[in-house]
Amino acid sequence: MRVLKKINTALIVTVMLFASVSCAFAEIAEQVEIDALVIPSRNHTRMQPEIFYAFKTSANELAPFFKLWFVVFNPFKHEVLEDGADDQKEFLELLNKCVGEVVAIKKANPQTSELLKDIRGYMKKNPESRLAELHEKLEKLMEDFEFLILESSDTYGIHPMFYEPGVTLVDTPDGANADDIMEALYGLFFIDAAFKQNKLIWGTCHGLQLGYVHAGGKLGRLFEYKEGGHDVCFKASGRERGKDEIWNIDKVLTNQTEEPESVEYSRVVYPVPEIFKGKENESEEMYMNKDFYHSFALIKPVPDDIKVISYHPLSEYQEEGLDEEFNEEFEEVFKDQVVIDAYTYKTMLGTQYHPQYTYDELQTAVVFDYLVKQLVEKSKITTKIEKALVSTESEEKGDGSIL
């Protein structure tokens, strides 16, 4: 039984693929439903409208027919849910009980940088534990969905206990707390479930970081933590299309183009990675917007299962020769390190940037075109289309064969 309420909008793709089987596809349109489980920041009760718009628009331009539903999971906001409030409240109560087990596991091996491995070992030895119960329930819930979306977060992020040796405190000096442990737990456990069930995953920002930690990777700060943040900016020039960029550091890293009257953030132009272009566009010059609004980064060593798509524009910045105005104060706070901003990991795509915010600019939409195509390939609609095609061919031959 589903414990969550579907968002009351379906995306119905109605692109004709083959005229000869139009009737068969029209029937499929009424039969096939693709359900996406959305994990927003724990502070929000709905999915990001920009993400909904991006998938809606890409889906409307791609084939074949299917209905796409979005369902939100956020036990922290159970009290405002119309349906499923009691079930999500139970998840929150269970998560609270799991925090003590997580802390005990870390204290038993305080120097580990891969706490999830120890948690898995603990659950195997203790199948009646709260953590094992949570893992089983989330895995069962994921069975109802074909797609997992891990959105960005406006919280601290993944608790450093999961990837930083020596961290055993629940409340850390730089602001992590028990809620961050709980948010990380269900995010990591949902990734476990999606991989086991061979489901597609897209993680953006916080979601990307969850996937990296799940693979055994480590997060690092782009600049040292400072109470109240920093007040630093610098200019980098000579990037794509010769535009200057102004980068600002306060509590997080942001960027904007250099225009005298402009305060337009989150617009940096970079070539579209080959993986998103596809064979049909491989010879074309294509560009996308990236934005950066974060303080944690994916750093080395890179786990074996992570296939890097691209690096952050400030990755190994000293080698980039950033010697423009303001760079002296920038170098005092920013760390020179390898920083990854996009990867694939098994059935997951991770992006540090947020392509949904600039979907209609340049060719940024190809990120969502790629995801929709991947979703179609992995979904049950493939089998239904094959059945429809075979059925149509059989009717034309009159051999009465069936699948």
Residue-level pLDDT at 267 = 59
With a cut of 50, say whether residue 53 has pLDDT above it. yes
Q: pLDDT digit string (tens) for 82-93?
A: 666 788 899 999
With a cut of 60, say whether residue 32 has pLDDT above it. yes
Residue-level pLDDT at 259 = 57
The residue among 70, 72, 9, 86 whose CA lies nearest residue 42 is: 72
Q: What mean pLDDT comes out for the span 116-142?
A: 98
Band (pLDDT 50/70/90 cuts) for residue 19 is very low
Residue-level pLDDT at 400 = 32
Q: What dotted CATH number matches 11-220+299-314+336-397? A: 3.40.50
Report how far Cα 145 is from the mean position of its chain's Cα atoms.
16
What is the SS3 string spanning the chain? CCCCCECCCCEECCCCCCHHHHHHHHHHHHHCEEEEEEECCCCCCCCCHHHHHHHHHHHHCCCCCCEEEEEECCHHHHHHCCCCHHHHHHHHHHHHHHHHHHHHHHHHCCCCCCHHHHHHHHHHHCCCCHHHHHHHHHHHHHCCCCEEEECCCCCCCCCHHHCCCCCCCCCCCCCCCHHHHHHHHHHHHHHHHHHHCCCEEEEECHHHHHHHHHCCCEEEECECCCCCCCCEEEEECCCHHHCCEEEEECCCEEEEECCCCCCCECCEEEECCHHHHCHHHCCCCCEEEECCCECEEEECCCCCCEEEEEECCCCCHHHHCCCCCCHHHHHHHECCCCCEEEEEECCEEEECCCHHHHCCCCCCCHHHHHHHHHHHHHCCHHHHHHHHHHHHHHHHHCCCCCC
318 and 398 Cβ atoms separated by less than 8 Å: no
Residue-level pLDDT at 25 = 46
Q: Would you call the peptide bond into 75 cis, given omega within 30 degrees of 0 as the criterion?
A: no
Cα–Cα–Cα angle for 99, 101, 107, rounded to 5 degrees = 105
Band (pLDDT 50/70/90 cuts) for residue 325 is low
40 and 151 Cβ atoms separated by less than 8 Å: yes
Residue-level pLDDT at 233 = 85
Residue-level pLDDT at 403 = 25
Task: Answer with the residue of higher pLDDT: 174 or 65.
Answer: 174
Band (pLDDT 50/70/90 cuts) for residue 376 is confident
Q: Would you call the peptide bond into 173 cis, given omega within 30 degrees of 0 as the criterion?
A: no
Residue-level pLDDT at 86 = 80
With a cut of 90, say whether residue 347 has pLDDT above it. yes
What is the rounded CA–CA span in Å between residue 364 and residue 269?
10
Looking at the DSSP assignment, which residues form a beta bridge with residue 255?
A: 247
With a cut of 90, say whether residue 380 has pLDDT above it. no
Q: What mean pLDDT comes out for the span 324-348?
A: 87
Q: pLDDT digit string (tens) for 56-70?
A: 999 888 855 667 899
Q: pLDDT digit string (tens) for 238-278?
A: 455 456 677 888 888 887 766 545 555 545 778 999 999 98
Residue-level pLDDT at 401 = 29
Residue-level pLDDT at 355 = 93
By three-state DSSP, how is residue 96 classified?
helix
Q: What mean pLDDT comes out for the span 308-318?
A: 87
The residue among 327, 126, 276, 306 whose CA lies nearest residue 216 is: 306
- Taking the model in full, what pTM does it have? 0.85
Residue-level pLDDT at 247 = 81
Q: pLDDT digit string (tens) for 95-112?
A: 999 999 999 999 999 999
Q: If you average pLDDT over every residue of the chain, what do you get?
A: 83
Band (pLDDT 50/70/90 cuts) for residue 399 is very low
Band (pLDDT 50/70/90 cuts) for residue 377 is confident
